[in-house]
Amino acid sequence: MSAPSDTDVLVRVEGLTRVFDLSKPWLNRVIEREPKRTLTAVDDVSFEIRKGETFALVGESGSGKSTIAKLIVNLLAPSGGRVLFDGDDMRKATSANARQMRSRFQMIFQDPFASLNPRWRVGDIIAEPIRAFDLASDKASAAKRVGELLETVGLAASDAAKFPHEFSGGQRQRVAIARALSAKPEFIVCDEPTSALDVSVQAQILNLMRDLQDEFGLTYLFISHDLSVVRHMATRIGVLYLGRLVEVSEGKALFQNPQHPYTSMLLDAVPDLDMTGRARTQVVGEIPNPIDPPSGCRFHPRCPLANARCMQDSPMLQPTAIGESACFAVEEGRREVPNTSTAGAK
């Protein structure tokens, strides 16, 4: 697989790390003789998002997906690493450049009701980015643009006069999409955009997002724990486990030939609606406490292929037939469950 050129890459994440300090106040720690406690939510994550594609991040709850989303759009400051947007370091941009850069990316949140101001009319909510980035010459032009956006996402221009509580969940998410589009962005971070919606409404929103991507040439970072949704949307997929990226692959190839044992486990948890009859591995264990993660490969307590090396050393992403994978078993060609009492033990 050939590496993309710099002109093809819109977002480049390099060694992104975020550590949260969970310690008690200093005086409490002194009196109780407790050490500082930290949680590494994102640990040295690197990937690229090419122009016009949908790059999906998947993983169980607590894997760091939403934290990465907030780091990319600058809602959180990284503890290490950097995010390059079209070659520019977002943290080092000047005020003028940062404002221009900010108009080029937007975010769609998980809960459409919580992300919309309940005291504002929908027209004002959608018009806010238009005013903030001076994208309309006057109020009439802004109102016209709002009406066009509402119709683009399948609502009526007259809906601009309504409040968010007057809409259903799917309609509110359409409003959130219209607000994201109002800034004329190139890149949209979608943080579980359909998880709060009914299944039938999910399909409508996903189809809308794909149509908008084709119409406006958008690039998506799509975050989800639902692999059936990811399969419908993603061009490429990154699999996260406990803050680390364990596999990156083209979307179709990942579903047909997963390399990492954790990816296989996630796929085996998806109902086999096609009734292929293939052997499936039962999901075992739970994600460990991120405050005290396992040594070596963080997946080894749940991995049927783990051996002594997995318990001691931490694997790095290595090229595979379909992308990259951070797994000693894949690297060494071990695909059979080892017959030892220590395999998969912490």
Instruction: Name which of 75, 144, 141 is nearest 106 in CA terms.
Output: 75
pLDDT of residue 200: 84
> Cα separation of 26 and 7, whole Å?
48
Pairing relationship of beta strands 318-319 and 105-108 according to DSSP bridges: unpaired
Helix ranges, the chain (H): 26-32, 65-72, 95-102, 112-115, 122-132, 139-152, 169-182, 199-216, 227-233, 251-256, 261-268, 308-312, 328-332
Sorted by sequence, the CB contacts under 8 Å of residue 48 that are 6+ apart come out as 4, 9, 11, 12, 13
pLDDT of residue 318: 94
Sheet holding 9-21, edge to edge: 38-50, 9-21, 80-85, 88-89
> Cα separation of 180 and 338, whole Å?
50
Sign of CA dihedral 121, 122, 128, 134: negative
Residue with tokens 């958008």: 218
pLDDT of residue 286: 80
pLDDT of residue 283: 65
Ranges of residues in the chain whose predicted pLDDT is under 70: 1-6, 94-95, 272-283, 336-346
> Cα separation of 226 and 219, whole Å?
20
pLDDT of residue 186: 95
pLDDT of residue 114: 87
Q: What is the pTM of this model?
A: 0.89
> Cα separation of 17 and 230, whole Å?
24
pLDDT of residue 226: 86
